[in-house]
A = this chain, B = another copy of it.
Amino acid sequence: MSQSEVPALRANQARLAEILHESCQFGAAHPYGSDTTETGMARLSLDDSDKAVRDWFIKSAESLGCKVSVDEMGNIFAVRPGKNNDAPPIMMGSHLDTQPTGGRYDGILGVLGGLEVLKVLNDNSYETEGPVGVVDWTNEEGARFPKMAVSSGVWAEQVPLKDAWNLKEVTANHDSPKTMKEELTRIGYLGKNPASYRSNPFAAHFELHIEQGPILEDQAQKIGVVEGVQAFKWFEITVKGRDSHAGTTPLYARKDSVLSAARMVAAANPIAKRLGGLTTTGIFETKPGTVNTMAHTVVFTLDIRHMKNETLSQMEEECRAEFKRIAHEDSEKGVEVEWKLLVDSPAVEFNPDCIRVVEQSATDVCSALPQTHPDGKLWRRMISGAGHDSCYTNTRCPTSMIFTPTKDGISHNPVEYCSAEDCALGASVLLGAVLRYDKLRAE
């Protein structure tokens, strides 16, 4: 049997919807309707609800016959044996953490879709050539600890373990923020295994994810065959002025860090607009933070994105020049501005073999569907606007991704939604891609 002759197995829509719902009881938040499924999520990485869903995930995977291990970043690997268990596993991975005002699909679908794939293999007593597994990567969102996909980054040896362990939370405990290592220890997920692709190699990594943008929905298409990810960088920018009295300090005598930082945030937007990229400030903090004192310090974040590495660099350079000008020429007595790089994620091109098996699987799965798209194609190749753990795994093993439609293109928001049907279609494409790659590696 060649890799094109894999059996036409399909995910079970009801069963997948059921575990999506079951697992989302841990960390459910921000309900927007009366049904228990009409809720968002606040499952911050390594908080109590994340511990609960991890425990649930391990129990579920073990009940399917998987061997489960945890590494020193709390990444959880559940592996189902194949014929030849000396070979590294094909992993299906994503994350179970969410944004503080997140939804029920971002990351979650990729992990639970992986579990559903294993269930279908079990149901059919299907023996893969090598092992196949599911991975839950820790803190993909970078919401609580501000480095996205930091734990797949450690696995890929692109992020030093110490840097990751020492990352401080930004979403709670502002007075005494906890580190990743403290929280890994507290919830009992500081594993003993090294977080490294060397001791824990993969044959490939496939990630099912919601698109998080409007394209599939707008085009009435069902599946995105993801060829790559746009480039992005995260910065923490510190503006230092002087704290002084709001009522007695004349405007000309001020070193007003808030006013200067506000001008910087406003100035980044037209640069992004002109160059066809994106800039976003999600965190903006003022210290000491009282009504009637100019802040001596503002710390704000800047997330910049572009399809092309070169244009991203240009966006960064223009922002640096403009912020410098604001700090020196446009801020009365002047302020200081410092840039710190938090995340540097160059544009990613996924592995051609992986892309091809996803495309074959998508063609197969979509062929059974009623045609809704004008050109008759229910899947499309596309580039991801968001970063994913797959960006890091791609540096160490063949990788690609599968996207499903996202209602109104809205993600990182409680109303984020992907229909049960579309979730199951995505899981079926994942299943077909894994089986095809399993044959490919055996050939």
- The interface of chain A, by Cβ under 8 A from chain B, is 99-101, 141-144, 146, 148, 170-175, 211-214, 230, 232, 234, 242-251, 253, 256, 258-259, 261-263, 265-266, 269, 272-273, 278, 280-286, 288-296, 298, 301, 303, 305, 342-343, 384-387, 409-413
Q: Measured between C-beta atoms, what is the minimum distance from A331 to chain B in Å?
A: 10
Rounded to whole angstroms, the CA-CA distance of A384 and B266 in the bound complex is 34
Distance from A76 Cβ to chain B, minimum over Cβ atoms (Å): 23
Q: How far is the CA of A243 from the CA of B343 in the complex (A)?
A: 21
Inter-chain contact A278/B251, CB cutoff 8 Å? yes
A273-B251, A294-B280 in contact; A245/B148 too (CB < 8 A)? Answer: no
A-B contacts, 29 listed (Cβ < 8 Å): A141-B290, A142-B290, A143-B290, A143-B291, A143-B292, A170-B291, A171-B290, A211-B248, A212-B248, A214-B250, A232-B247, A242-B410, A242-B413, A243-B413, A244-B410, A244-B412, A245-B410, A246-B305, A247-B305, A247-B385, A247-B386, A247-B387, A249-B409, A258-B284, A262-B263, A262-B284, A263-B266, A283-B291, A291-B343
Residues of B within 8 A of A269 (CB): 251, 259
Q: Which residues of B contact A387 (CB under 8 A)?
A: 247
Q: Is the CB of B175 within 8 A of A248?
A: no
Cβ distance A145 to chain B, nearest Cβ, rounded Å: 10
How many monomers of this protein are in the complex? Answer: 2
Contact A292 B173 (CB under 8 A): no
Which one of B247, B266, B282 contacts A293 once the chains associate, using CB atoms below 8 Å? Answer: B282
B272 touches A282 (CB 8 A): no
For the complex, give the distance between the alpha carbons of A288 and B30 in Å.
12
- In the bound complex, CA of A283 to CA of B292 (Å): 9
A246 proximity list for chain B (CB < 8 A): 278, 280, 282, 303, 305, 412
Q: Are A291 and B146 in contact (CB under 8 A)?
A: yes
Q: Considering the complex of A and B, which 8 residue pairs feature the smallest CB-CB distances, nearest first?
A: A213-B248, A246-B280, A248-B385, A100-B288, A262-B265, A262-B262, A143-B290, A247-B386
A265 and B273 in contact, given A247-B232, A305-B247 (Cβ under 8 angstroms) = no
Q: Looking at the complex, which one of B171, B243, B259, B410 makes contact with A289 (CB distance below 8 Å)? A: B171
> In the complex, how many angstroms separate the beta carbon of A420 from the nearest chain B beta carbon?
22
Contact of A291 (CB < 8 Å), options: B243, B265, B282: B282
By the criterion CB–CB under 8 Å, are B282 and A295 in contact? yes
Residue of B nearest to A99 (CB): B293
Taken together as a complex, chains A and B put the C-alpha atoms of A440 and B171 apart, in Å, by 59
Tell me whether A290 and B280 are in contact (CB under 8 A): no
The chain B residue sitting closest to A258, CB to CB, is: B281
Q: Quote the shortest CB–CB distance from A238 to chain B (angstroms).
A: 14
In the assembled complex, which residues on chain B have CB atoms less than 8 Å from the CB atom of A266? 259, 262-263, 266
